[in-house]
Structure 1
């Protein structure tokens, strides 16, 4: 089997696949003015997604994360889950959601083949949640998280973007919450994009101090699996839940990169902040183009560089995090 491996011997078994860039939230760090449609877009069809995932699977991809925007805005979202989960070689299907549809859909998605779910909960304080997201539905989202745990997912994760002045004082609330909850709580450093420079300068917070605090309090860092994401994961014998830290500005963050991205319009991105992407869409309509598709993916991977340049203030043309799927 051909393998997705770059010139730095990094193996790519994880694909983040965006199926829409639309979102119904107005998060202050991503889409503060709400989603703005700049042109009439045709997102990847279910057939195109099927052909894409099949090609990636044959190149060694084992995990697919369905992203957005907000992926559940697609009316065929459940069917897309089923299509991806039914692809030979795909061992894990996950999604990231803002939780808007979660309470009523968690069981349906699980039954369709979704293995794991990440829910964005940027504060455990209802007022701060409203301030960050523009949506006064904190309780509804939390009920969705509870429904996900009840549905039987292998893993339920909570994503929280660290922001000075918004949720940096929530840590004790989060820790208390996961003491008796089998949930992985992931703190993500705020990242700079083309349209949030001023916000980033005011609110960026390094995750390193949280890491040192966790280690001092007896948390143990776990060894990652080959298709795990970029989080450093910590566990503690007194807690059912876990803590994850995603720190893209940390030294050697890109050294263990194991994921590629495909946008909702069919462009392959080697890095969230790397480049403008390689168009794959002309090869997605027919299964007969699968070998040419695999060749184009492999050829593109040859140009993947050693890391991003976020610390130098370079964003690689990423307007906001919803544009490629985070």
Structure 2
């Protein structure tokens, strides 16, 4: 296991498998990489990288994008990672294509799903995602709930004045299926940067509500010291990353970009280019590059830091409603 200079182990690898998406979410950070990159790792490339990472003690892999289910070979990608025998293999998706791929993904080793569901109101969902697809996604959620995945999480980015009043409704929806609910703080990254001041919510009101209506179970020490709550039988995870030294102190993750670079942090550079070693299947060279990347890891937010929330406020209209 690799430990960085701040005592944090590297346990998890987020794998960005493509740089395209069929949604246009107003807050998308695109995993800190560019859109429409010219080079894309093959399924075999990804399998090679994950096998080396596993040798270094990384045993938890999450597939993301873009929208990963836009890759025609996404089942092969899952199969390549599954072959190395990871402790955990999950995938984050907007849910649009789950009716096509979910069964094959499960049969090839995928065990967990994260499904983005930022509103249960059709107009709000369409505004947030840029796609009028709520009904289709809800049908797909109902479908995959019966397939036997070990765990399904609903990802909700909290947007002030837009969807934060839906949290009790989201909890009831998650309870219906036995899902985990993950509430995520808006990040001033990518598309989220210009709308940050308008929609940023520090989650304090939500946390107060959770304390009143549920109970604190503890924190996820293996992943950003995330607080865990239980409300009406539903586990609720809080992803409060912005200007949060506690979150950074518990970081155990790096990101593999879709063109073969290793990002030490969503918010910052540097990145280490792994492509020369991937292309030539240089196992020793790749291992050394990963060890070097781990040595560059450092918290983005530290005690005493402060965030700048001064951005232009924007009004938007959804039907007859103005936000």
**2:15 maps to which residue?**
17
1:38 & 1:104 partners in 2: Cα distance? 24
**2:265 maps to which residue?**
271
**1:248 maps to which residue?**
241
Say if 2:278 is the partner of 1:284.
Answer: yes
Structure 2 gaps, min length 5: 310-323
The runs of 4+ residues in structure 1 deviating greater than 6 Å are none
TM-score normalised by the chain length of structure 2: 0.87
TM-score normalised by the chain length of structure 1: 0.87
2:67 & 2:245 partners in 1: Cα distance? 30
**2:215 maps to which residue?**
219
Write the mapping of 1:92-107 to structure 2, written as runs, cut at 5 A.
Answer: 92-107=88-103
**2:252 maps to which residue?**
258
- Change in Cα spacing, 1:150 to 1:161, as seen in structure 2 (3 Å) is same
Q: Does structure 2 retain, via aligned residues, the 8 Å contact 1:103–1:141?
A: no
- Change in Cα spacing, 1:8 to 1:144, as seen in structure 2 (3 Å) is same
**1:318 maps to which residue?**
none
- 2:195 is paired with a residue of what secondary structure? helix
Which of 6, 23, 29 does residue 27 from structure 2 map onto? 29
Deviations 1:52-108 (A, max 9, x none): 0110000001110011010111110001101101114x1111000011101232212
Which of 206, 209, 234 does residue 205 from structure 2 map onto? 209
Deviations 1:182-211 (A, max 9, x none): 101111111002554331111100112212
Which of 28, 33, 48 does residue 45 from structure 2 map onto? 48
- Change in Cα spacing, 1:218 to 1:160, as seen in structure 2 (3 Å) is closer
Structure 1 gaps, min length 5: 315-326
Q: Does structure 2 retain, via aligned residues, the 8 Å contact 1:30–1:196?
A: yes
1:112 & 1:229 partners in 2: Cα distance? 29
- Change in Cα spacing, 1:276 to 1:7, as seen in structure 2 (3 Å) is closer
Say if 2:11 is the partner of 1:6.
Answer: no
Q: Does structure 1 retain, via aligned residues, the 8 Å contact 2:217–2:229?
A: yes
**1:322 maps to which residue?**
none
1:6 & 1:276 partners in 2: Cα distance? 15
Which has the larger displacement, 16-25 or 163-172?
163-172
Q: Does structure 1 retain, via aligned residues, the 8 Å contact 2:219–2:225?
A: no
- Change in Cα spacing, 1:311 to 1:19, as seen in structure 2 (3 Å) is farther
